[in-house]
Each structure stands twice: as structure tokens, then as C-alpha cells.
Amino acid sequence: MRWSVVAILVLAVILAYSFVAVSLGPIAPLGRLSFVKLENPDMYPGHPHSVLLAQYAEKTGSKCALVLHFAGSSTYNSYEQDTPNSNTQNGVYIIEVAFIDTQGGGSSSLSQINLLDSIKVALFGVPDGRYKYMSDGVVYNSYDAMMNHVYTLAKQHGQKGAIPTVYHGTVRTDNPILAPGCGFPLYFQILEKTYGTIPAYVYTITGMIFPYLNSPYRNFELMHSSELQYYYNNGLLNIDYKNSHVNTGKYYGQISNNTD
């Protein structure tokens, strides 16, 4: 009985410390945004997940949000996202960042994220020099340079307070309940570097639960995950942006101009 009381007190201290540390910091960790891809590309103005992220940000009065990816073929251009009944001028500015794993199999080959490797990185941290970062068509060789870019964009677009932050979370082939999904290791790295190891673990765990409690697409994505993964991997979710009736033209133009 005595040890159980001690354990509860220790847990309470850990949770309280983590809450206070994060509440005073520049990053507001929400967690996982989604489970599987609904359309390709997977983040652009008007995409359901993009609108959902903007709505999360608007609930806190934020003018910006940060979404983290596992680097693929995109140049991860940031963009304005309007929402229904938007209460922020010009909508929410979505900042996109992807990490390039120079030593892992997933990023370099564009194959599925390695779950065991992701967990190992989360447990033991990212080895020096392993990651590079892509945002707005630029590759950043260091974490600090990448985050400076993020904070600069947020300031330019009127962000006050902490930036709501998610990892994309989509899974191409594996079980999306078991696999943490796109952007997970970078999410943990940002939390660890910003707040330390203990809050990083706490908010990584709560972040995994986040979409189950908040995403309106949760049931659809999980119930149809294998179908949606098949459709995506066979090019059946690719959209024709010219006929999509959403503001994607400028975004696609940026991708075209910045693609190597």
C-alpha cells in the first residue's frame, strides 16, 4: 500500500512538472493528426487533414500550426489554410517540416517507416548528424537551423504563444493502430530538445491518444485503413488539383518551382 502511494505521488509530480514545463514553452504538442492518407498529396490547402489541423489551431486562438513528416518527394511548402467559419484573419498558416533520415532505410528509399528503429530513436535519442530537415524547399543540416526557420515563419505570420504541433501520423502499409506513423521521431525529438526527456515521454504518450479523442475521421480511417492504403499505394487517391475546387494552385506552383 505504501509503495502504491509513493508511485502515485511520483506519477503526479511527473505529470505536473511536464504540464508546467510545456505550458510555458514555445511548442504546444497536440500529437498525432491522422492514421492513413485520405488524398494525395497528403497536406495542401483544402485537404481534410489540413482543415482539421487549422481547426485545432483556431480553438487555441493560434494563427499558425506545425505539422511534421517523414521526408518523401514533397518540398514541404508552408501555406495558408482557411476553415469554415474562420475566426482568424487569413486563416491558419500551416508550417510543414520533414526529417530526412540519412542512416535509416525509410526516408532514403521512400519505403515504410521502420517501427523498431523509430522506437529506438525515441528511447535513446537521435545520433548526432543522423537527421537533416526539409521545409519550404530548403534542406537544413541542423536541428537549430530548422527550428529557427519555424519560429521565424510563425513570427512573420502573427503567432502569439506556443505553436500547436502535430506529427502527420499516416501509415502506408502497416497497422495504423500499432505503427506510430509519419513524423513520429521528429515529434519526439522536438519535445525532447524543447522540454527534456520526461515531458517528451509524457506528451508523446498523450499525443498517441489525441486522434482517438479528437479526430472526426478516426473511425473512417481505422475501419477502412487497408482499403485506403491500397488506394494510395496504387495511385487511386491522387487528386487533380485543377479540378479540386480548392485553393491548391499556388501551392502546387510552389512545389513545381522548388523541386530539384
Reported pTM = 0.85
How many other CB atoms are there within 10 angstroms of residue 196's CB atom? 13
What the block records as the C-alpha cell of 186 is 521528429
* Distance (Å, whole) CA 37 – CA 69: 13
Split at pLDDT 50, 70, 90, the class of 87 is: low
Q: Which residue has the higher pLDDT, 66 or 131?
A: 66
Percent of the chain topping pLDDT 90: 52
The number of domains in the chain is 1
User: In 3-state terms, what secondary structure has residue 178?
Assistant: coil
Q: Which domain holds residue 109?
A: 2-258
* Distance (Å, whole) CA 59 – CA 221: 23
What the block records as the C-alpha cell of 207 is 499525443
Instruction: Quick: pLDDT tens for 21-64.
Output: 788 899 999 999 999 999 888 888 889 999 999 999 999 999 99
Examine the pLDDT at 121 and tell me if it is beyond 90: no
Residue 10's identity, in one-letter code, is V
Look at residues 75, 64, 82, 99 and name the one whose alpha carbon lies nearest to residue 190: 99
